[in-house]
Each structure stands twice: as structure tokens, then as C-alpha cells.
Structure 1
Amino acid sequence: MNPTSPIDPGSDTARSQYSFTSRWHVAASQEDVWYLFEDQLASDDPFVWWPGMDSERRGDDIHVVAGSPVGYTLRFRLHDIVEEPKERVTLQSDGDLDGEAALVLRGVDESSSTIDVSWHVDVTQPWMRATRLALRPVFVLAHHAVMRAGERGLNSWLVENRQRDSDPVR
């Protein structure tokens, strides 16, 4: 399995403080990944498979507490989630991360796919804004570590669910 591929290492843009694009390599077809998205986005804990990410569905929104590998915690709400079946999910965020994200699914072959994740955010915690220039490299590395953990967690979760679903004892 290839690790997360950072396409954009976290560039500054005029409209947001951080702009990231990552590519996840997933050992499941585009269709299987889409059905997982549908099921998980509707569940009480949409990111149960993502280490360090606690999530809770509240109505149409998802409230997230994300732990950083360097010790800080981000709290944000995902809302205005729009699904384009089997192709794309877009959403808005507010809280410690104010911005937008898009996840684009692409099939590679019948048993693998990619997810391109674009994330454009402003940080709102005063300490992060004040230390932005000095700690930017740390924030960028932490983002990539969290994304790698998500990619690994998703692939592990898919394997576990396939094994459970094919277990003849169940």
C-alpha cells in the first residue's frame, strides 16, 4: 500500500491560511468506497475507522475532535455536506478549522481506488494564528500525519469488515 501522497504540501492562498491536497490509495473499488461513505456519513460515529479522530453525528452535522500527533487538539463541525453519488463529497467546516473540503473518488481498477482530499481552511485558535509563521512546518507535518493515519485506518477497517462479512461463523 502506498502511503498518502501529499500533492500540495500546504500552500498559503489568498483565501485561506492552509490549502492541502492529499491522495489516498484505497484497497477497494470506487463503488465499495462510495457505499462505505454513504453508510459512515449516516452513522452516529462517521469516522470510527480514523485513529485520533472522534466524531459524532448531530442532525445533519458531524462534530469532530481531532488529536494532533504533536499534542494539540482541533474541534470543528462539518456541515453543508453534499454528496454526488459515487464521485464526490463536499463540505464546509467551522470551529477551529473554518473552510471547505472536497473528496473526489476515482477508480483505479476493480479492486482499488483513490480519494483526492482537498482541504482549504483558516485556523481560528488564537495561539495557532499568532504562531503561524514559526510553527507552520509543524502544522503541515501534523496534517500529513493525521491524513496518513486516516488512509491506513480506512484500509485496515475495510480489511476487517471484509473478513467479518466473509466469516462463515457469523
Structure 2
Amino acid sequence: MTPRIFDLSSTWHLAATPEEVWAIIADIDMSWPRWWPHCSFAAPLVRTQPRSNSQEDVLKATTAFLNFKASLGYILTVSIHPTTVVTPQEIEFDAGGHLEGTGRVTLSPEAKDQTTRIDIEWRVRPTQRWMKLLTPIAAPAFTAAHTLMMRQGERGLVRALAYDTH
């Protein structure tokens, strides 16, 4: 039985320029655990030799292993490896670990470039046996847990931006 693919999307509106948002979400140290509640490093970053010292190439040479604790109590360990980086507009990535697939984060300026819309898309399937077995009945709960986790990330980023810009 092939596990179900989850198409998950979120949209955030932030009171900061795309460049300010990019500086936090696309830093080469993948500092998401500093501002995203219930997110922590599962392992040290893995970085191969980048083609150059540009931020784009360093990010594409980096894989982050992150734990996300869901509101339902389980922890998902996900690897994130950027495959396309266009500063300050877009990051596409491969995901592995407990969720396997792809994702994309797109930044769009709003309100005369003073606010930013972030669209986050995940197209993933669970790899853990228990999740695959429960998906037919628990998919709505998994989706709701994802939505809450993303809201927590948005709130954390809002706080990080307020701290960073003041």
C-alpha cells in the first residue's frame, strides 16, 4: 500500500520586507529552532563543499535535521535539503526522514515592499509505519496538527522579526 501524499499549504503575512524575512528564514545556520516553538535540531547540520561562498550555494550544500513536536504528542524528524535558492524570493527543498517529499517557500512583497507574504507548500508522505497505518482515519488530525505547528512557526517568526528590527 502506497502511503497517502499530503499536500499542505500555509500563508503567512509579515510586517517586514522580504529581505528582512529572508535574513531569518534562509540563514546558512538554519536557525529555525531559535524562533520556531517545538522545533529543535535532531542532529548537526551536514554541509558538503559548496560551489561558491554565496548564500545560495551554501544553503544548497546544507542538510538540516529538525525535530518538530506536534500538538498530538508525536515528534517528526525531518531532513530539509534546499535544491533551489533564489534570494530573497524562493527556496525549494527535498524533505526526508519521517516525512518524505518536497517543499517550497515563496516570499512576495506586499504593501509597497514593507510587508511580506510567505507561501509554504509541502508535498510529503509519511514514512513511519504507525503514521501510514493511521492515515486513513487520522489524516484530518495530522493535517490539523500541521496547521497548528505552522501557526506556531508564524508567531515565532513574527517575534524574531520584531526583535531583529528593533
- Once the two structures are superposed, the pairs formed by residues 9-24 of structure 1 within 5 Å of their partners are 17-24=5-12
Amino-acid identity (%):
27
TM-score norm. by structure 2 comes to 0.82
Asked which structure has the greater RCO (Cα within 8 Å, sep 6+), the reply is 2
In structure 2, list runs of 5 or more residues that go unmatched: 48-61
CA distance, structure 2, for counterparts of residue 140 and residue 24 of structure 1? 17
* Residue type at the aligned position of 1:83: V
Note the 1:16-95 alignment, pairs <5 A.
17-39=5-27, 42-43=28-29, 45-55=31-41, 56-59=44-47, 60-95=62-97
How far does residue 137 in structure 1 lie from its aligned partner after superposition?
Answer: 1.1
CA distance in 2, matches of 1:81, 1:57: 16
Runs of 4+ in 1 over 6 A off after TM superposition: none
Residue 160 of structure 1 deviates from its aligned partner by: 1.4
Report the TM-score, using the length of structure 1 for normalisation. 0.81
Which residue in the other structure is 2:152 paired with? 149
Give matches, 1:121-132, under 5 Å.
121-132=124-135
Match of 1:112 among 105, 109, 115: 115
Q: For residue 33 of structure 1, report the CA deviation from its aligned partner.
A: 1.3
**Counterpart-to-counterpart distance in 1, 2:30 and 2:7:** 28
Residue by residue over 1:139-162, the C-alpha shift from the partner in whole angstroms, topping out at 9 and shown as x without a partner, is: 010000000001110001111122
Across the two proteins, how many residue pairs are aligned to each other?
Answer: 148
CA-atom RMSD in angstroms: 1.8
For structure 1, list consecutive stretches of 5 or more residues without a partner in the other structure: 1-13, 164-170
